[in-house]
Each structure stands twice: as C-alpha cells, then as structure tokens.
Amino acid sequence: MAVKKRLFIGLISGSMLLLLALGGATVYLFSHQDSLVNRISLWGIGTVFAALLLVVASGIMGMVLTLWSARSISPLQGAIRITINLLFPLALALGRVFKIDRDAIRGSFVEVNNQMVRTRRITVPPEKVLVLTPHCLQRAECLHKVTNNVQNCKECGLCPIGGLVELSRRYGVKVAVATGGTLARRFVEQYRPRAIVAVACERDLTSGIQDTNPLPVLGVLNRRPHGPCFNTDVDLTKVEEAIRYFIG
C-alpha cells in the first residue's frame, strides 16, 4: 500500500479502536448496576456491539486484503461498505485530533477506493460509462453554457472541457458537467451508468463515491492553480486511463 492509502486505513483502524473503547466503557458502567433491567440492557448492548465490531473488523480486514492481494474479496464487500459509511466521520474527527489535513484523509480514501475498484476488473460498454465533471473546469469567462449540454463546448483549448468532449467522441462514453451534487445525482439518474469516472476535489469526490455506492467510481482529483472552484484543471491522461480501464 502506498503512503496515501495507509493514512486512510490507519485512521479507520484507529476509529475502530475508539469505538471499541467507547463500547467497553459503556459495558463496564452497566456491569456495575445490579438490577434486572440493567443486566438485560447489558446483554442487549453487548450483543449489538459485538455484532457491529465483527462487521467493522471484517470490513477493515477486507480492505487490507484487497489492497494487499490486488484481488476483490466478494463476500466482504458489504462489510467494507458498512465500515466506510460508519467509520469515515470518526476517521475525520480522529484526523482533526492529530492535526491531519481533512483533504489528505479524503484523498487517501479516494486512492483506496480507486485501487479497490480496479481489483474488481470491471468491463462495461462505452455508452454505460459516465464521465462526471464539475463546472469549475470551464473557464469562468466562457459564454458557452455546458452544464445543460456539454456539446455546446467550442473546443477552443482554453480549458479541459474540450479535451473531455474529444475523449467522449473517441471512446463513445457519456460526459456531463455538473454545478453541484444535486445536478450530479440527476445526471446519474438520467444516464443510468454502470461505471463512473468522476473529476472533482477531495471533498466532492468522497461524498460522490459514497452516494453512488455500490456503483463503481474511479476518482480523478482536479488541479486548483487559482484556488477552489475557479478555473480548475485536470490531467486528461488520468481521465483517459480510467475510461480505458472500464471499457477494457
């Protein structure tokens, strides 16, 4: 595993230990109460907590084994999804305690997700691949609105949108430019893709990957030479690599 991937796995594992400590403290407090109600509550809490801990431990083990072996472990996919949804907010909170940049954590998650998607060796028809990008890739001063129809792009070469249109034409995939999460979800509903190549910042990629799960998403981080959400850029080579992976 690369350093970036280790960051996310380490924080998720630390979150599980934190969960274990909180559960243990709760059980300890209840165990010192002698009433029948408290004994029943202790049994119930202990059972639920043990089941949750088993799922989380299985999810973390599944992630580590998948990254290590470069092979998808199908029986553990459900546990992996539950673990990420449950522990990711805790991982961000733990990162804050240790003064780790939130975008570094999110970027690490994207790296883990991308490698796990690639281990599934998915192949889909080109028309079932959606390249989903943010509108900030378009030059702010451009007069041609591409959020309704990316084909409105004049391919002048001043922003990456033209390159994405050319990739769409070359490989036969769909391209959509979204102004936010709501429009992005609408495009997913409209095109009903079987795989997504998503371009965005760490925050939007993280939320998008989680929102569309279990749909396979390969995330490509955008570049922000002028700051967030303004005249951003993307490495078109990485986008093309992701497209080529999905279409085989």
pLDDT tens across 132-151, in order? 999 999 999 999 999 989 99
Could you tell me if 79 and 86 are in contact, meaning their C-beta atoms sit under 8 angstroms apart? no
Distance of alpha carbon 165 from the chain centroid: 24
Least confident of 27-31, 60-64, 227-231: 27-31
Q: Who wins on pLDDT, 148 or 16?
A: 16
Average pLDDT over residues 106-123: 94
Distance of alpha carbon 2 from the chain centroid: 17
Q: Tell me the domains of the chain and their CATH numbers.
A: 3-119 (no CATH), 126-247 (3.40.50)
Among the residues of the chain, which ranges form H helices? 3-31, 36-69, 77-97, 102-119, 161-171, 181-191, 202-212, 236-247
Q: Give the DSSP H/E element, type plus range, for residue 199.
A: strand 195-200
Could you tell me if 215 and 193 are in contact, meaning their C-beta atoms sit under 8 angstroms apart? yes
Q: Who wins on pLDDT, 44 or 189?
A: 189
pTM for this predicted structure:
0.90
Could you tell me if 211 and 200 are in contact, meaning their C-beta atoms sit under 8 angstroms apart? no
Q: If you average pLDDT over every residue of the chain, what do you get?
A: 91
Q: Report DSSP letters for 84-148, one per residue.
A: HHHHHHHHHHHHHHTT--HHHHHHHHHHHHHHHHHHT-----GGGEEEEEEGGGS-TT--S--SS
- Distance (Å, whole) CA 157 – CA 139: 10
Could you tell me if 132 and 155 are in contact, meaning their C-beta atoms sit under 8 angstroms apart? no
CA nearest neighbour of 14 among 91, 86, 85? 91
Q: Is the pLDDT of residue 28 over 80?
A: no
What is the per-residue pLDDT across 151-201, written as a single tens digit (0 to 9) for each?
999 999 999 999 999 999 999 999 999 998 899 999 999 999 999 999 999
178 burial level (CB within 10 Å; 0-12, 13-18, 19+): buried
Residue 222's pLDDT band (cuts 50, 70, 90): very high
Sheet holding 129-134, edge to edge: 174-178, 129-134, 195-200, 217-221
